[in-house]
């Protein structure tokens, strides 16, 4: 693997061993708030919904009251084990979890009214196939200029070599080519403040933002970064996300 590149397989496995992602912090650092709350406003209680890259399932299960039935899938089997345990604890009855690859969906064509994908890769061809006519896909993804001051300080980072908007433009083009209609997007890039050095340190250890955080001079770079970016609200960085919605016909 290239130095400075993200090893997603390890990141996802480690996240599963820690108990998933949803306890890390409230996920409302965008202009539209939390992704699942934004999608919730589009639901009528009648939908069959597929959540791709569901991880430990807690955020997706927040939608259980607003849909008829749901399936959460994840490539990482340990995440699905966690999701099944979390489902039992929460007493959710209308959602099931399955270990599955987004590139090879084991569902008949036209199964779902809605697909949600948050911070997980999209296979537009498979997604279009399993949607019902008129079905909708909603996704939120991380933009290349997320945590930009951190990536600049470390002189490396997730998609640091790519222009902001690259993935959004690629996804819009792919979705259109595959046959999705009514493609709409919005971007949110707002300040984010880490409350303490520990919060920032934990984030850097757990997230793919700075690959292989902890090597060589990283602790010196981190100290300098904190000194240069400490403001009244905390240690300043930014959260940059895009939201895409589209439909089948
Ligand atoms: C960053 S986590 C996001 C979890 C959750 N959607 C959330 O926002 O809290 C990305 C998840 O996508 C899963 N994933 C990555 N590639 C996938 C694929 N091809 N098919 C299914 N799941 C995938 C990973 O295992 C991981 O659990």
Measured in angstroms, how far is the CA atom of residue 52 from the centroid of ligand 1? 7
46 within domain boundaries: yes
Between 67 and 14, the more confident residue is 67
Q: By alpha-carbon position, which residue is closest to atom 8 of ligand 1? A: 118
The yes-or-no verdict on residue 25 having pLDDT over 60 is: no
133 within domain boundaries: yes
CA-closest candidate to residue 54, choices 96, 6, 90? 96
DSSP state letter for 65 = G
CB 42 within 8 A of CB 67: no
The yes-or-no verdict on residue 109 having pLDDT over 50 is: yes
Closest atom, ligand 1, to C-alpha of 76: 25
53 within domain boundaries: yes
Among 35-49, 149-163, 199-213, the minimum mean pLDDT is found in: 199-213
151 within domain boundaries: no
Closest atom, ligand 1, to C-alpha of 58: 9
- Residues 184-205 have pLDDT tens digits of 999 999 999 999 999 999 999 9
231 within domain boundaries: no
Q: By alpha-carbon position, which residue is closest to atom 1 of ligand 1? A: 119
The yes-or-no verdict on residue 14 having pLDDT over 90 is: no
224 within domain boundaries: no
Question: What is the CB < 6 Å shell around ligand 1?
Answer: 12, 21-22, 52-55, 59, 73-76, 79, 101-103, 118-121
Q: Report the CATH number that the domain containing residue 163 is assigned in CATH.
A: 3.40.50.150
Quickly state the pLDDT bin for 1 (edges 50, 70, 90): very low
Q: What's the number of domains the chain is made of?
A: 1
110 within domain boundaries: yes
Measured in angstroms, how far is the CA atom of residue 121 from the centroid of ligand 1? 7
The yes-or-no verdict on residue 23 having pLDDT over 60 is: no
The residues, ordered by sequence, that sit 6+ positions from 9 with a Cβ below 8 Å of its Cβ are: none
Quickly state the pLDDT bin for 6 (edges 50, 70, 90): low
Using DSSP's 3-state secondary structure scheme, residue 154 falls into helix
Q: In a mutational test of the pocket of ligand 1, which residue from 24, 74, 100 has the highest number of ligand atoms less than 8 Å from its CB?
A: 74
With residue 201 as reference, give the H or E element that holds it: helix 197-206
Which structural domain range is residue 21 located in?
8-146+158-192+238-247
1 within domain boundaries: no
- Indicate the pTM of the whole model: 0.94
Closest atom, ligand 1, to C-alpha of 59: 9
């Amino acid at each position: 693997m290239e130095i400075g590149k993200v090893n997603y397989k390890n990141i996802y496995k480690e996240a599963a061993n820690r108990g998933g992602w949803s306890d890390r912090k409230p996920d409302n650092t965008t202009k539209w708030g939390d992704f699942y709350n934004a999608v919730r406003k589009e639901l009528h209680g009648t939908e069959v919904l597929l959540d791709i890259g569901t991880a430990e399932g807690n955020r997706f299960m927040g939608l259980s009251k607003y849909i008829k039935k749901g399936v959460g899938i994840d490539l990482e089997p340990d995440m699905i084990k966690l999701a099944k345990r979390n489902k039992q604890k929460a007493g959710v009855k209308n959602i099931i979890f399955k270990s599955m690859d987004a590139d090879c969906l084991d569902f008949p064509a036209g199964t779902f009214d809605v697909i949600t994908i948050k911070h997980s890769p999209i296979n537009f061809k498979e997604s279009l196939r399993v949607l019902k006519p008129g079905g909708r896909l909603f996704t939120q993804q991380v933009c290349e200029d997320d945590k930009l001051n951190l990536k600049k300080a470390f002189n490396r980072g997730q998609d640091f070599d790519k222009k902001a908007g690259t993935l959004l433009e690629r996804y819009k083009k792919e979705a259109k080519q595959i046959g999705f209609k009514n493609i709409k997007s919005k971007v949110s890039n707002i300040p984010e403040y880490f409350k303490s050095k520990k919060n920032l340190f934990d984030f850097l250890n757990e997230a793919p933002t700075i690959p292989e955080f902890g090597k060589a001079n990283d602790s010196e770079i981190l100290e300098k970064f904190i000194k240069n970016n400490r403001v009244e609200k905390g240690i300043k960085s930014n959260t940059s996300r895009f939201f895409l919605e589209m439909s089948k016909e």
